[in-house]
Amino acid sequence: MPEFRTSDNLRLWYEDQGDGQPLLCLSGLTRNSTDFDYVLPYLLGEHRVIRLDYRGRGKSQRAPDWKTYTIPTEARDVLELLDELGLAQAPIIGTSRGGLIGMALAMLAKDRLGGLCLVDIGPELAAEGLDVIKDYVGLNPSAKTYEEAALERATLMAGFDNVPAERWRDEVHHHYRETDNGLVINYDARLRDAVLDGGTQPMADLWPLFDALEGLPLACIRGANSDLLTPETLAEMARRRPDMIVAEVPGRGHVPFLDEPEALEALNEWTMLL
């Protein structure tokens, strides 16, 4: 199992597959490297795909201190992974939280960032979407089995249309563990403390982080029904970066699966610039 130790002695899991141009894939807040299972077949063959489970998520070790579940600490973990792999820099596909980490790296260590594809995230986060996250983060689902959870997900996931039942079954297997007492989340429940603690602080201005991406290949893939990245924010991003590759995926909320035709077209166009 590929693992490395962070500078604060935490064991983090990653997967390193394929050959060619490295691509570092960073997942959403409560999610893990399986976020990229659907797009992986389209990337392998041309790219070396590296996927990380953040501290406290998936197969990575839970942190002794939940206060380290922050974007700056997770950005440091990413840099240490690049060091571990001997990579001077890498482009990042960043879904939600992963995109925020990518923007932070543009400010903190731009020379290590070879480009950024933002997946349903930008420098302004809609309050509606943040409230949804706060409602579920760190809590186990009410469903007791994978099958129950898949059926629930099909009705609860706002903004998703025409998703095959098999995809929802895959999703619940990615993000929950089935136990004798029902389903449990496969990340540290104390992530809720970190999120709620962060919510007590004034919202930081993230536009300087976005502007720090100047000169880097940039793309943004938005779910057309997203409750976190608004059309207005996307329009301002495009105004500031007219060269940014933009795709909106119909029938998808937060976040697209990335194997939709619109997402694949944008990813292909972006990777041609790397």
Q: Give domain status of residue 139, yes or no.
A: no
Q: Give domain status of residue 106, yes or no.
A: yes
Across the 274 residues of the chain, what is the mean pLDDT of every consecutive 10-residue run? 94 97 98 97 96 98 98 98 98 98 98 98 96 95 94 89 96 95 96 89 90 98 98 98 98 98 98 98
Q: What is the pLDDT of residue 203?
A: 81
Q: Give domain status of residue 194, yes or no.
A: no
Residues 99 and 223 sit within 8 Å (Cβ to Cβ): no
Q: Give domain status of residue 28, yes or no.
A: yes
CA–CA separation, 247 vs 33, rounded Å?
22
Q: What is the pLDDT of residue 155?
A: 85
**CATH number of domain containing 89:** 3.40.50.1820
Closest Cα partner for 37 from 173, 136, 140? 173
Q: Give domain status of residue 151, yes or no.
A: no
The answer for residues whose C-beta is within 8 angstroms of residue 228's C-beta and 6 or more apart is: 96, 120, 121, 125, 126, 128, 129, 130, 254
Q: What is the pLDDT of residue 154?
A: 85
Token pair 């942190």 is found at 63
Amino acid at 132: V
How many Cβ atoms from other residues are within 10 Å of residue 252's Cβ?
26
Q: Give domain status of residue 90, yes or no.
A: yes
* Number of domains into which the chain is organized: 1
What are 61's two structure tokens?
A: 């070790």
Q: Give domain status of residue 190, yes or no.
A: no
CA–CA separation, 228 vs 239, rounded Å?
19
Per-residue pLDDT of 129-188, as tens digits, reads 999 999 999 999 999 999 999 999 988 888 999 999 999 999 999 999 999 989 999 999
- Give me the domain span that covers residue 36: 3-134+204-271
CA–CA separation, 193 vs 157, rounded Å?
23
Q: Give domain status of residue 147, yes or no.
A: no
Q: What is the pLDDT of residue 1?
A: 64
Q: What is the pLDDT of residue 27?
A: 98
Indicate the burial class of 156 (C-beta count within 10 angstroms; 0-12, 13-18, 19 or more): exposed
CA–CA separation, 188 vs 14, rounded Å?
17
